[in-house]
Amino acid sequence: MENPAVTIFRNYLKIKSVQPEPDYSETTAFLSDLAKDIGLECKVVEALPGKPFVVMTWRGTDPGQKSLMLHSHVDVVPVFPEQWKVDPFSAEKTDNGDIIARGSQDMKCISIQYLEAIRRLKADGKQCLRDIHLTFSSDEEIGSKPMAAFVKHEAFKKLNVAYALDEGIANPGKEFRVFYGERSMWWVQVTCKGRPGHGSGFIENTAASKVRKVMNSFLQFRDDEENRLKSDPNLSHGDVTTVNMTILKGGIQFNVVPAELGLSFDIRMPPSVDVIKFENQIKAWCQEAGEDVTYDFVIKDTNTKTAPISKQDPWWNAFSSTLERLGVEYKTEIFPAGTDSRFTRECGIPALGFSPMNHTPILLHDHNEFLNEKVFLRGIDIYYEIIPALANVTA
């Protein structure tokens, strides 16, 4: 017989909350029913129209204390079904227990692990000092605009949050990865304008010639950072700046030299980077490419706050000591991508990124994403210990 928690997880994975048209009505109904089944308070907040936040609460014994927030998001990235072994929303389970589905790692597993750990705590008669709020956000995979609005909403302020947990990443090795900060995310749009003309000539000062110079500058920097990462074994992915050109657009037909071309770059910077200095570098690269080369930000995150990871910090001490007591090996890192945690940290609320998935290949956003049911269930065991440890911090 399948563990009931695994069945709930698989049912959640079957909901097609996939970008660009996620079904939030179904996820909201599913989570609301689950809250009722466990015995948690539940409400739905829309800081942005049509972008629901499901907020569940397990009340603590001292309402005067600030609360603990357990955060996750309900949307998942698109799929290419022809590249999958099975239907990516079938949540099919193999004979060895691998549950194959979009969202199995990123991050529907965490949502259910939180809830099932609390179900067990309540069933065992446990109570915690602080209120615990479980928040389920939307549109995290396309820039987190609802989360940016939610942290400014009166409903969030009333949660009175002191500390938060959010998603991490799997690790193929035995250690669990704990993220105490994350890289800033910049989405930069560069526009190059030049002389148009007939495709048969040697036209000077074209948009394409400027595009080439911009590309060379950005991608040379990318190569330098990649070489720095590979040459220093003490560095992790989150310690360097990544630059990737993700969109190239422009042109109307083969024999017309375009007057304008655009490039889009996804840039991720660790907290150690001087963001003012780096923007000046972008400005210089555009100026070096020629006249009429401009840049704009689609997203410009300049938050460099991190959560303390010293034993003198009562929250980190509670979290890390629990892992050590369980015999769990872990390593601390800067998160290489972007999560909703950047908004809680910006509010002055420390947050850790933690997904209890070891001995698991990193498959978020990849084809045939899966999580083994034993790893999933072990995660519930870990949260069963971590959640009360944090919710009972007295400092």
Count Cβ atoms below 10 Å from residue 289 Cβ, excluding itself: 20
pLDDT at 11: 98
What is the CATH T-level fold of the domain 184-300, as seen in this structure? Answer: Alpha-Beta Plaits (3.30.70)
Q: Is the dihedral of CA 298, 306, 134, 151 positive or negative?
A: negative
In the residue annotation, 260 being an active-site residue is answered as no
Sequence-distant (≥ 6) Cβ neighbours of residue 236 within 8 angstroms: 333, 334, 336
Average pLDDT over residues 40-62: 97
Average pLDDT over residues 175-188: 95
Average pLDDT over residues 368-385: 98
pLDDT at 186: 94
Average pLDDT over residues 184-205: 96
Strand order through the sheet with 92-93: 92-93, 98-100, 370-372
Picking from 134, 145, 112, 90, the residue whose alpha carbon sits closest to that of residue 6 is 112
pLDDT at 302: 81
User: Does the structure show a pLDDT above 80 at 303?
Assistant: no
User: Does the structure show a pLDDT above 90 at 152?
Assistant: yes
Check if the beta carbon of residue 300 is closer than 8 Å to that of residue 280.
no
Distance in angstroms (rounded) separating the CA atoms of residues 236 and 272:
13
Check if the beta carbon of residue 329 is closer than 8 Å to that of residue 171.
no
Share of the chain above pLDDT 90, in %: 96
pLDDT at 375: 98
User: Does the structure show a pLDDT above 90 at 304?
Assistant: no
State pLDDT tens for residues 345-361.
999 999 999 999 999 99
Q: Catalytic one among 116, 140, 182, 301?
A: 140
User: Does the structure show a pLDDT above 80 at 122?
Assistant: yes
Picking from 191, 185, 84, the residue whose alpha carbon sits closest to that of residue 141 is 185
DSSP annotation of 380: H
Distance in angstroms (rounded) separating the CA atoms of residues 335 and 168:
7
CA atoms within 13 A on the CB side of 318: 18
User: Does the structure show a pLDDT above 80 at 243?
Assistant: yes
Q: How confident is the model at residue 63 (pLDDT cuts 50, 70, 90)?
A: confident
Distance in angstroms (rounded) separating the CA atoms of residues 300 and 268:
10
Distance in angstroms (rounded) separating the CA atoms of residues 132 and 168:
20
Least confident residue range of 10-14, 135-139, 140-144: 140-144
Check if the beta carbon of residue 113 is closer than 8 Å to that of residue 356.
yes
Residues of each domain in the chain carrying CATH 3.30.70.360? 184-300
Residues of each domain in the chain carrying CATH 3.40.630.10? 4-167+355-391
Check if the beta carbon of residue 360 is closer than 8 Å to that of residue 372.
yes
User: Does the structure show a pLDDT above 80 at 395?
Assistant: no
Q: How confident is the model at residue 130 (pLDDT cuts 50, 70, 90)?
A: very high
Distance in angstroms (rounded) separating the CA atoms of residues 324 and 365:
31
Distance in angstroms (rounded) separating the CA atoms of residues 124 and 91:
30
Greater confidence (231 vs 1) lies with 231
Q: Catalytic one among 75, 106, 141, 166?
A: 75
In the residue annotation, 140 being an active-site residue is answered as yes
pLDDT at 18: 98
> Which contacts (CB < 8 Å, 24+ apart) does range 7-12 have?
8/34, 8/112, 8/115, 8/116, 9/91, 9/99, 9/108, 9/109, 9/112, 9/376, 10/91, 10/93, 10/99, 10/101, 11/91, 12/103, 12/108, 12/111, 12/112
Where do the DSSP E strands lie in the chain?
Answer: 41-48, 51-58, 67-73, 92-93, 98-100, 132-137, 161-166, 176-182, 184-193, 197-198, 242-250, 256-257, 260-269, 293-300, 330-335, 351-354, 370-372
Distance in angstroms (rounded) separating the CA atoms of residues 239 and 56:
35
> Which contacts (CB < 8 Å, 24+ apart) does range 154-157 have?
155/43, 155/45, 155/47, 155/53, 155/55, 156/45, 156/47
Type of residue found at 222: R
Angle subtended by helix axes 4-13 and 24-38, to nearest 10: 160
What is the CATH T-level fold of the domain 4-167+355-391, as seen in this structure? Answer: Aminopeptidase (3.40.630)
Q: How confident is the model at residue 107 (pLDDT cuts 50, 70, 90)?
A: very high
List Cα–Cα distances, 19 to 102, 103, 113, 369, in angstroms.
Answer: 11, 12, 23, 16
Sequence-distant (≥ 6) Cβ neighbours of residue 261 within 8 angstroms: 191, 192, 207, 208, 210, 211, 248, 249, 250, 251
